[in-house]
Amino acid sequence: MRRALLMTLIILFCLPIANATQITTNTEDSSSGTFSGTYNVENGATWTVSGDYDVEDDTVITIEEGATMVVSGTMSAIAEPMLNLAETANVSVDVDYMGEQGTLRIQFAEEVRFGIDIEINNQTTANWTGTQFDWNGSLDVETITVNITTNPFQTSSIESITLSPQMNAPVLLAADQLSGNGTSLVIPDRLEAWNIDVQGTLIVTGSIFGAEITCHGLCNLDGANMTSTGPIEVMGEITVSDSTLSGGVTDEDIILWDDATITWTNSTGTGGMTDNWVNILTSRTIGVQNGYVVFYGYDMGYDSVSTSPLGDNSTFDAGNMGDNIIEIALDERDRMVRWQDGNGDLHEESASGLVVLSTPWGDYEQQINDLPKVNHFDVVLDLPMLTFDSLVESDDEGNVNTRLGVMATVTNSGDAPATFLIPCTSNGSDANVGLSVPFSAAAGETVEIPMNWDSAYEGEFALECSIFVPYHFEGYQVVDVGTASTNPVTWTEDDDASSNLALPITIGAVLAIGIFAFIARRNMA
């Protein structure tokens, strides 16, 4: 029993594998029918579809590296298409003189919630909402043009149009029987589209409807008719020549990711607000040394946006904080670096940037006139490099509470100036050197800094001074040698100070006695 159950489970798990169609040799399908399930075109094989075929929902075709698929016939999703409407659309309806009077009914694919304008024969219904629109009038004409102005807050699509002449049977026109400026056929549910994963080569000279195409290898559209395939996502290379792309379900017919390439020649896209192709970076970051560096971006991406100060410490994703990488573009529009619009005009961002490290030593900036159109680049700031060359005392002896001259020498061998402090210690405590202001050293400059050192204590002490490095330079080396010391200095009390007081004291005493005697004689008299 257990063995039977185990065998049953094995069979069930193997069913998806068994359902996959492996194309291992050169194969051609030249008739008609339906494709369904999973197809793998293996390395070295070519699969040619020259007939007319329907493709069921969720069908997956994988073209392996080294394999080729050629579509010279037709491959179409089984789903009935719907007619997408641009901001302004002119839908041409073939009436063919059906009757003097009747009703034209527009069935929308989804409820129109935001008002649209519909005009027929100079009769305008403004701000209309709903799912069915009826117009009554003469059907004794060859064609009727329905002019529709849509609402930008929603996508409006027509499922069908029904013509109902009086005293005659109604006629249903499906979406693919309609046409006009500002219209395009699209698959109703993009999530149910069939899929072509191109790791090798895809060549299309025929027609494809409703496929989701990812191109890691090479895609060649030569005289192709691509309907509701947008966006074709390209990680490798795509060539488009003498082809038509229509019915894009997003704002672009083709998306090039990162360093993918495209050649577009004599071809037509969906047009209008839909770009022929765009080039988007999957990420856009710069590498810095610490979280105190900030980036300012200017004229970035599709909308030429400028940024507020961005830094690793204020990253979009808190989990990335501390990796010394600044994310400089939040969304895909900011990461769009080049594109070709629906009119065929080429565009490229003209972005620049400014990297700033603000410190007590000064502000250190790097201007980036042409922001690199890559996923990541590192920024190297021009910074100072300080060396404490020497600290020399003027004498090896000093009197307590009396100033002793000391000369400090500091060299800045870096590429930027610095305004710095030099704190000093002696005998384990802060030393008084008579200075509390910062010193400045330009790039390539050696400066001498005079100090006046005094000690409140007797003894033999050395003065030790160091260049104070602010925490803002974490991760950067801006000091080569940062500390210097004097030779020991002997500090003593001044012995002459007490003896020199004897004479003034004596004179004062004699004067006091004389004054006392003078006053006493005067009183006796």
CA–CA dist 213, 139 (Å, integer): 42
Beta bridge partners of 157: 84
Q: Can you spell out the DSSP letters for 199-233?
A: SSEEEESSEEESEEEEESSEEEEES-EEES-PSEE
| Helix/strand/coil (H/E/C) assignment for every residue in 269-312 | CCECCEEEEEEECCCCEEECCCCCEEEEEECECCCCECCCCEEH
Contacts by 418-422, CB closer than 8 A, 24 or more apart: 418/361, 418/362, 418/384, 418/386, 418/478, 419/360, 419/361, 419/362, 420/361, 420/386, 420/467, 420/468, 421/360, 421/467, 421/468, 422/449, 422/465, 422/466, 422/467, 422/468
- Reading across the β-sheet that carries 218-222, which strands appear in turn? 27-29, 46-49, 68-71, 201-204, 218-222, 237-241, 261-265
Averaged over successive runs of 10 residues, the pLDDT of the chain (525 residues) comes to 43 49 96 96 98 95 98 94 91 93 95 96 95 96 96 91 93 93 82 88 97 97 94 97 86 95 96 91 94 95 93 65 85 95 95 97 96 96 97 94 94 97 93 87 96 92 96 94 96 65 47 49 51
Q: CA 390: distance to chain centroid?
A: 48
Q: Strand, helix or coil at 496?
A: helix
Overall fold of domain 82-186: Jelly Rolls (2.60.120)
Secondary element (H or E) of residue 8 = helix 2-19
pLDDT score for 317: 60
pLDDT score for 516: 46
Pairing outcome for strands 194-198 and 211-215: parallel
- Does domain 392-492 sit in CATH 2.60.40.10? yes
- 8-state DSSP, 324: S
**C-alpha angle 280-284-250 in degrees, rounded to nearest 5:** 25
- Do 82-186 and 392-492 show the same overall fold? no
Q: Strand, helix or coil at 58?
A: coil
| The two three-digit tokens of residue 407, written as one number | 């000369």
Of 359, 376, 372, nearest to 325 by C-alpha is 376
Burial code (b: 16+ CB inside 10 Å, e: under 16) for 348-358 equals ebebbbebbbe
CA–CA dist 180, 92 (Å, integer): 5
Of 7, 2, 42, nearest to 22 by C-alpha is 42
Question: What are φ and ψ of residue 321, in 5° steps?
Answer: -65, 135
| The two three-digit tokens of residue 30, written as one number | 């030249």
Domain spans, the chain: 18-79+188-280, 82-186, 285-378, 392-492
- 8-state DSSP, 401: T
CB atoms within 10 A of CB 208: 26
How far apart, in Å, do the first and last CA atoms of the chain sit? 150
| The two three-digit tokens of residue 324, written as one number | 């010394």
CB 58 within 8 A of CB 34: no
The residue assigned the tokens 């672009």 is 252
Secondary element (H or E) of residue 352 = strand 352-359
CA–CA dist 421, 436 (Å, integer): 8
CB 262 within 8 A of CB 245: no
Q: Strand, helix or coil at 9?
A: helix
